[in-house]
Amino acid sequence: MKKILLTTTALVVAGAFALTGCSSERGGDTGSGSGDEAAKGFEAGSTIGVALPDKTSENWVLAGKLFTDGLEEAGYKADVQYAPASNTVAEQQNQIQAMVQNGAKVIIIGAKDGKQLATQVQAAKDAGAYVIAYDRLIENTEAVDYYVAFDNFKVGQLQGQALLDGLEERAGHEAPYNIELFSGSPDDANSAVFFDGAMDVLQPKIDDGTLNVVSGQTEIAQTATEGWLAENAQNRMDTLLTGSYSGDTVLDGVLSPNDTLARAIITSVQQAGKPVPVVTGQDSEVESVKSIMEGVQYSTINKDTSLLVEQAIKMVGQLQKGDEVDVNDTESYDNGVKVVDSYLLEPLIVTKENAADAYKNVPSLLEIVESYQ
Ligand code: BGC
């Protein structure tokens, strides 16, 4: 698998640069494929295609609604499609092809499998449309113009740090702590970046003996959760508990890459009659926010979907007018054939302690938090 990060250091440096607001604005005159057409703009009121993957977490469901409303409000015709849960890759390929044929001027793609869209995004480019990778990178093609996402490496680092903090707070004993590691779906480019970010924090603590991965499963391939499916994480946790935590061996913590998987991992441990370990998450899903407030799941990440959709729609507006497109990172996301100009937003760690503050701009979640206070 081609690593999408140039180097960890490059990303951290670029991320720090990006997030301190030193934005480097670039138009489309780079000759890199995002290119020559960018200065041209296109007709206001054009069709914008949005191809989203299956609904594996609440953020995807919300994104579809926000894109439909936001694009129409901005005067475009929105063509928002989800790939169904079965045969997702082929369906998403067909949907993108249809958007091209229907004359969409920009196609925003939350990829199901970012390695399998090269033909379709090339067809979009050939037809004169722009392609924006949304949340997940599209790999091995020149034909992706921009990437808009939360800083995925930072997400991983925050998860790793939350796991360490949670262990100190809740394990009830000194180190060493027994932990297990989970990662996301191998067909999602984000999964490796989340895991690399987390291991950037956790590996030194594994090396110095603070953390003990009892199963010994520390390679990403061993920790993967195919399709980001809850049942796959639950089955793996069941197997780990049987194989490595029989008798008195206590599981102190689990790195979980998102909330859906965190809840599945917690269910597995509860069904085995064991105490709930410190479990991380991501996405601020309603059930996980409740679980955090109840003191069960330890942490999640606030990646406010409305901000990400807003940024993507802003890019569409800049492309439409032929303006320069705002990017704040031109180094981190190598898709295998080019480094994709990116706009990265800053993720926020959420625990019970800071939840009210973390969701101060997300009324639906703030309401849940306040109902526990
Ligand atoms: C997203 C996460 C999400 C996961 C599963 C990732 O690409 O960045 O926010 O939890 O997909 O849907």
Q: Using CA atoms, how far apart are residues 30 and 128, in angstroms rounded to an integer?
A: 16
Below-50 pLDDT ranges, the chain? 1-38
What residue's CA is closest to ligand 1, atom 9? Answer: 283
Residues 6+ apart with CB under 8 A from 65: none
183 CB near ligand 1 (under 6 Å): no
Cα separation of 355 and 346, whole Å? 16
112 Cβ closer than 6 Å to some ligand 1 atom: no
Residue 261 sits in the same domain as residue 175: yes
CA-257 nearest atom, ligand 1: 10
Whether 203 and 116 map to the same domain: the answer is no
Asked whether residue 217 falls in the same domain as residue 261, the answer is yes
Centroid of chain to Cα 67: 17
What amino acid occupies position 50?
A: V
Q: What is the pLDDT of residue 128?
A: 96
Same domain, 180 and 288: yes
Q: Are 290 and 317 part of one and the same domain?
A: no
pTM for the predicted model, two decimal places: 0.90
For β-strands 341-345 and 253-255, DSSP reports them as unpaired
Both 121 and 243 in one domain: the answer is no
Report the amino acid identity of residue 139.
Answer: E
Cα separations in angstroms, 126 against 79, 96, 116, 244, 339: 20, 13, 18, 53, 20
Please work out whether the CB of residue 228 comes within 6 Å of at least one atom of ligand 1: yes
Q: Which of 58, 195, 283 to mutate to test the pocket of ligand 1 (most atoms within 8 A of CB)?
A: 283
In the prediction, which pLDDT does 28 show?
A: 37
In the chain, what is the greatest distance between 2 CA atoms, to the nearest angstrom? Answer: 68
Return d(Cα 373, Cα 362) in angstroms, integer. Answer: 17
318 and 190 share one domain: no
Q: Are residues 33 and 161 in the same domain?
A: no
Helix 152-170 crosses helix 189-207 at what angle (to 10 degrees)? 40
Cα–Cα distance for residue pair 223/181, rounded to 1 Å: 6
Q: 263 and 170, same structural domain?
A: yes
For 43-60, the pLDDT digits (tens) are 999 999 999 998 888 999
pLDDT of residue 39: 54
- Same domain? For 147 and 23 the reply is yes
Same domain, 38 and 163: no
Contact (CB, 8 A) for 59 and 305? yes
Closest CA to 193 of 325, 46, 11: 11
The parent domain of residue 312 ranges over 3-151+304-346
250 within 8 A of 278, measured Cβ to Cβ: no
Residue 275: cis peptide before it, omega within 30 degrees of 0: no
Domains identified in the chain, total number: 2
Question: Where residue 216 sits, what CATH number does that domain have?
Answer: 3.40.50.2300
